[in-house]
Amino acid sequence: MSIDLLEGNPKEKLGFDPNELRAKYRYERDKRLREEGNAQYQEVADEFASYTDDPYTEWVERDPLNDEVQVAIIGGGFGGLLMGGRLREAGFDDIRVIEKAGDFGGTWYWNRYPGAMCDVESYCYLPLLEELNYIPKHKYSYAPEIFEHSKAIARHYDLYKNACLQTGVSEMRWDDSSGRWIIHTDRGDAIRAQFVAMANGPLNRPKLPGIPGIATFKGHTFHTSRWDYDYTGGDSDGNLTGLRDKRVAIIGTGATAVQCIPHLGEWAKHLYVLQRTPSSIDVRNNRETESDFAQQLEPGWQQRRMDNFNILVSGGDQDEDLVSDGWTEIFRNLTGIAAKTASRELGRRLSSREKGQLMELLDFQKMNQVRDRAEAIVNDPDTAAALKPWYRQFCKRPCFHDEYLPTFNRPNVTLVDTDGRGVERITERGIVANGTEYPVDCIVFATGFEVGTSYTRRAGYEITGRNGLSLTDKWAKGWRTLFGLQANGFPNCFFLGFTQTALSVNVPHALNEQAKHVTYILDQARQRGATRIEATLEAEDMWLAEMKDKSRIAERFYAECTPGYYNNEGKLDTNNGFFAGTYGAGPIKFFRILDDWRSTGRLEGVELT
């Protein structure tokens, strides 16, 4: 692709009219904008609270604890596991992981729906592969393997010792006189901790659609993150024999639904897929790990592969693309790398207008390819047309799957496209969409997770810092942190995740950098004999200014996008939305900032006492 695309009559050169496409995207977005924004969703609380019950592990009674640990880690997913692992490596012994689930694994503990897998390459995504001497079985791992790997990490670093599983934190309060956090739980525990690392996860709290009548349905329902295999039969590999005589509806067509719909389609007597906005579905092309893969690897291979992938999916250049998949392809072709290539061809820098135009044209081309794929695979022309996404590639999370689109060729599968309106009503008997009632036995909610609600609501408990300041109040008007990891008023407390840190397509990579940084700070405190560590207000101001400065490009991009959790359901909120919590200059720059900060040894902006 070269810059001459921008010259002459684009319609003739491209085979499509960019103005028409632009107008179509806007029309499709406007149709979906809803006045209620994020408030359209039903919180999983009160009469809906049981949607978050753990269907996977039997409840084990235990006596309440009233004791003390040096470091409490809240959350046993990849954030908590990496934090625990890095602390162990640095010689911290007195660690306790507190986890609501019955085991380690986080998202991979909860998300066991049929077909669950990770679409980021396993050799990059599964953390600590060299430390554990493990090579994943496929290029893209299935959920059970990732869950097993999570448990293996916990065993490797001895994190089961002293852990409190099946334990939900109910409150966390700083006691200034003793310099300890007091963590109360739903088990009646009162655990004192000198340091706390919060690894609650960015998409941890399921949400339901606020559809009128949702509570009146007399059939069976569950959320994809709490799959009811007692009802459906089978397991993560499929084999859902319990659905042979069932009419099933699934609400939602995001990344989760895309993975489980092929299995529902295979086993349900009839499947209705209720669609509001189609996902972009590109080629998956999974394969088994080649038998000689491990033999070619040199020590340090995983970090090198992760770095190579991270640079490419952050718009940077690399001589070699080690992963070479759909992710690296779209980033290579739709981001700054493409502009750099065009600029080289042209022998001059592109103006920012030219750059913007080029990016848009390339995006149109890519999405045309995605739309053509739907048309080529799905037999019924109306169904194929309804499965075409009309927005830019990164407006919603790109999906990669080879069995999703063919599922709509099954005679027992009906796509109910709601033309952006969503499900109208739920009745005692089923679902109403486009004025038609579809009687069903079971409704599966593939409606995602809370984003953009307050941190403490998503965590499920309040955190009260110095001078009685609650975290809810502190962040009521938006995040305030130093590098996303520390906050003034909350000494000895560290936040992992996307609370003003950088997002990477490979989330565990980002969590690993955060865990290393927190470990460095705790190690420094130990070496210097400090017992309290707290970010200053000035340091928060500095980071807030940097966050705001770097957020403008993403804000402009997402303002034009179809609604979703990336853009706060179309009501861009520069304080609380998903991208307000992520650093706009990207992970490469962010990791470098952390590195540089550590290398000075000055702990600038952090008070140690």
Query: Which residues contribute to the site for ligand NDP (CB under 6 A)?
Result: 32, 118-120, 203, 209, 211, 251-257, 259, 274, 276-277, 397, 422-423, 446-449, 564-565
> Rounded to the nearest whole angstrom, what is the least distance from the CB of residue 343 to ligand NDP in the complex?
32
> Rounded to the nearest whole angstrom, what is the least distance from the CB of residue 115 to ligand NDP in the complex?
9
> Rounded to the nearest whole angstrom, what is the least distance from the CB of residue 121 to ligand NDP in the complex?
11
| C-beta separation of 233 from 241 below 8 A | yes
Place of tokens 């207000």: 537
| Backbone φ, ψ for residue 141 (5° rounding) | -80, 145
Q: Give dist(CA 45, CA 41) in Å, integer.
A: 12
For ligand NDP, give the closer residue by CB, 391 or 461.
391
State which amino acid sits at residue 103: D
Reduced to 3 states (helix: H, G, I; strand: E, B; else coil), residue 406 is helix
- Specify whether the backbone of 489 is left (phi greater than 0), alpha (psi in -120 to 50) or beta: left
| C-beta separation of 475 from 454 below 8 A | yes
> Rounded to the nearest whole angstrom, what is the least distance from the CB of residue 269 to ligand NDP in the complex?
22
**E strands within 434-542?**
436-439, 442-445, 462-464, 493-495, 533-535
Q: Give dist(CA 248, CA 439) in Å, integer.
A: 9
| C-beta separation of 143 from 111 below 8 A | yes
For ligand NDP, give the closer residue by CB, 277 or 481.
277
> Rounded to the nearest whole angstrom, what is the least distance from the CB of residue 427 to ligand NDP in the complex?
15
| Backbone φ, ψ for residue 542 (5° rounding) | -60, -45
> Rounded to the nearest whole angstrom, what is the least distance from the CB of residue 1 to ligand NDP in the complex?
28
Q: Give dist(CA 520, CA 410) in Å, integer.
A: 55
> Rounded to the nearest whole angstrom, what is the least distance from the CB of residue 119 to ligand NDP in the complex?
4
Q: Give dist(CA 96, CA 101) in Å, integer.
A: 15
> Rounded to the nearest whole angstrom, what is the least distance from the CB of residue 225 to ligand NDP in the complex?
7
For ligand NDP, give the closer residue by CB, 214 or 606.
214
For ligand NDP, give the closer residue by CB, 114 or 489.
114
For ligand NDP, give the closer residue by CB, 438 or 565.
565
For ligand NDP, give the closer residue by CB, 118 or 525.
118
For ligand NDP, give the closer residue by CB, 188 or 439.
439
262 is written with which tokens?
A: 């092929």
The single-letter DSSP state of residue 455 is H
> Rounded to the nearest whole angstrom, what is the least distance from the CB of residue 235 to ligand NDP in the complex?
17
For ligand NDP, give the closer residue by CB, 38 or 185.
38
Burial of 94 (0-12, 13-18, 19+ CB in 10 A): middle
Burial of 265 (0-12, 13-18, 19+ CB in 10 A): buried
For ligand NDP, give the closer residue by CB, 77 or 209.
209
For ligand NDP, give the closer residue by CB, 69 or 199.
199
For ligand NDP, give the closer residue by CB, 448 or 605.
448
Q: Give dist(CA 105, CA 141) in Å, integer.
A: 14
For ligand NDP, give the closer residue by CB, 257 or 413.
257
For ligand NDP, give the closer residue by CB, 21 or 124.
124
| C-beta separation of 585 from 547 below 8 A | no
> Rounded to the nearest whole angstrom, what is the least distance from the CB of residue 421 to ligand NDP in the complex?
8
For ligand NDP, give the closer residue by CB, 448 or 497.
448
The single-letter DSSP state of residue 106 is T
Distances (CA, A) of 268 to 201, 379, 410, 440: 32, 20, 11, 11
Residue 199: which residues within 8 A CB-CB, separation 6 or more?
Answer: 73, 74, 75, 76, 77, 79, 80, 83, 106, 496, 497, 511
Q: How many Å separate Cα 259 from the centre of its chain?
A: 15
Q: Give dist(CA 445, CA 552) in Å, integer.
A: 34
Burial of 572 (0-12, 13-18, 19+ CB in 10 A): middle
364 is written with which tokens?
A: 């149109």
> Rounded to the nearest whole angstrom, what is the least distance from the CB of residue 565 to ligand NDP in the complex?
5
> Rounded to the nearest whole angstrom, what is the least distance from the CB of residue 403 to ligand NDP in the complex?
14
> Rounded to the nearest whole angstrom, what is the least distance from the CB of residue 505 to ligand NDP in the complex?
9
Closest CA to 581 of 495, 479, 487, 500: 500
DSSP annotation string for 300-350: THHHHHHHHHHHHTTT---S--SS-SHHHHHHHHHSHHHHHHHHHHHTSPP
Q: Give dist(CA 539, CA 482) in Å, integer.
A: 6
For ligand NDP, give the closer residue by CB, 108 or 543.
108
> Rounded to the nearest whole angstrom, what is the least distance from the CB of residue 479 to ligand NDP in the complex?
20
> Rounded to the nearest whole angstrom, what is the least distance from the CB of residue 524 to ligand NDP in the complex?
34
For ligand NDP, give the closer residue by CB, 254 or 489.
254
> Rounded to the nearest whole angstrom, what is the least distance from the CB of residue 95 to ligand NDP in the complex?
28
| C-beta separation of 497 from 580 below 8 A | no
Q: Give dist(CA 575, CA 241) in Å, integer.
A: 47
Q: Give dist(CA 342, CA 1) in Å, integer.
A: 7
